[in-house]
Amino acid sequence: MKFARFLKGTQSRIGIVNADDNAIRPLHVDLNDLHDLFGRNDLQSLVATAGDEIALKDVQLQAPIIPRRNIICVGKNYRAHAKEFATSGFEAGAVKGAEIDEFPAVFSKPPSTVIGTGATVELHPGATSSVDYEAELALVIGKAGRNIPAEQAFDHIWGYTIINDVTARDRQRNHKQWFLGKALDTFCPMGPWITTADEVRSNDLQVQCWVNDELRQSASTSDLIFDIPTLIATISAGLTLQPGDVIATGTPAGVGIGFTPPRFLKSGDEVSISISGLGTLSNRFE
Ligand code: MG
């Protein structure tokens, strides 16, 4: 099942998406947010009583979830990307020959970065002149847990979505720690919806990213250095993951700083990210 949040008039609603028909059916329950669906075992009956189909082109999709805590992100989790980043000049403290980390690099983006598909990403001239894209598979936690063993990790995942981990490369480099380069308003497009975990084989999904009509990134999640169970076990060690937490799994090679000279985003660019079975997330930069 694919659940989305959308605007109908001025009201935000939750709906079930029929991706084949490009349509959505509003749920007939008063839900503020997808958080209200976690732990419910009556999803099938909620869906069965949903309203009539509305064409997706006639609604405004919003970010499928409003995170209550920072989005947890993993850096340098595809080999070719770790190498392009280390040699780009934008990785503070990069050491030649040590591009692949022994432990995952983890940082976060505040909830204020999150926008939906179709919304505009701000380029923030004055704060940065090097805005870049990062296509990523993200997972949504549905069941709380601390010290989650890798072999139980999938029990805690409710669904999957796409994020664009938009990054101000100059701030990422200059401030040593990545938060300031990753945390600018609108820097986390998310969506178009969340696909429930039962429909997703997350260890072999194709991640693709286009800037305007040019394919820039194309890789499989089978290439992750640290796989999803390892990430959940690592992150939840001593840190209780909560339902609604979003974990982004890292980006493949092909970002703007992978080119010589770097190809940063400019006003009017459109970045579209598709992941097998999860839909397409598209945002214009301005
Ligand atoms: Mg990233």
Using the mean position of ligand 1's atoms as its centre, give its distance from the Cα of residue 135 in Å: 7
Confidence of residue 11 (pLDDT cuts 50, 70, 90): confident
Using the mean position of ligand 1's atoms as its centre, give its distance from the Cα of residue 71 in Å: 11
- pLDDT for 100 equals 87
Using the mean position of ligand 1's atoms as its centre, give its distance from the Cα of residue 148 in Å: 23
Using the mean position of ligand 1's atoms as its centre, give its distance from the Cα of residue 224 in Å: 12
Please, is 136 exposed, middle or buried when counting C-beta atoms within 10 Å of its C-beta (0-12, 13-18, 19+)?
buried
Looking at residue 142, its amino acid is: G
Q: Which residues lie near ion ligand 1 (Cβ < 5 Å)?
A: 134, 165, 251
- pLDDT for 31 equals 77
Q: Are strands 279-285 and 270-275 parallel, antiparallel or unpaired?
A: antiparallel
What is the torsional sign of CA 123, 126, 131, 137?
negative
Assess whether the previous peptide bond of 229 is cis (omega < 30° from 0).
no
Using the mean position of ligand 1's atoms as its centre, give its distance from the Cα of residue 255 in Å: 10
Looking at residue 176, its amino acid is: K
86: left (phi over 0), alpha (psi -120 to 50) or beta: alpha
Taking residues 240-249, report their average pLDDT: 98
Using the mean position of ligand 1's atoms as its centre, give its distance from the Cα of residue 52 in Å: 38
5 vs 11 pLDDT, higher one: 5
CA distance 245 to 26: 24
Q: Which of 97-111, 149-163, 181-195 has the lowest mean pLDDT?
A: 97-111
- pLDDT for 9 equals 83
Tokens of 46: 């909620």
Taking residues 141-164, report their average pLDDT: 98
Question: CATH number of the domain at 2-62, out of 3.30.1490, 1.10.150, 1.20.120, 3.10.330?
Answer: 3.10.330
Residue 216, pLDDT > 90, answer yes
Using the mean position of ligand 1's atoms as its centre, give its distance from the Cα of residue 73 in Å: 6
| Full-model pTM | 0.97
Tokens of 196: 């429930």
161-199 tens-digit pLDDT: 999 999 999 999 999 899 999 999 999 999 999 999 999
66-85 tens-digit pLDDT: 899 999 999 999 999 999 99
What are the extents of the domains in the chain?
2-62, 71-285
Non-local (6+) Cβ contacts of 256 within 8 A are 130, 132, 133, 169, 216, 262, 263, 264, 265
DSSP H or E run through 182? helix 179-182
Using the mean position of ligand 1's atoms as its centre, give its distance from the Cα of residue 166 in Å: 8
Please, what CATH class does the domain formed by 71-285 belong to?
Answer: alpha beta
Confidence of residue 33 (pLDDT cuts 50, 70, 90): confident
Q: How far apart are the first and last CA of the chain?
A: 33
Which of 191, 6, 114 is CA-nearest to residue 16?
Answer: 6
Percent residues over pLDDT 90 in the chain: 88
pLDDT averaged over every residue in the chain: 95
Cα distances (angstroms) measured from residue 239 to each of 70, 147, 250: 13, 7, 20
Looking at residue 130, its amino acid is: S
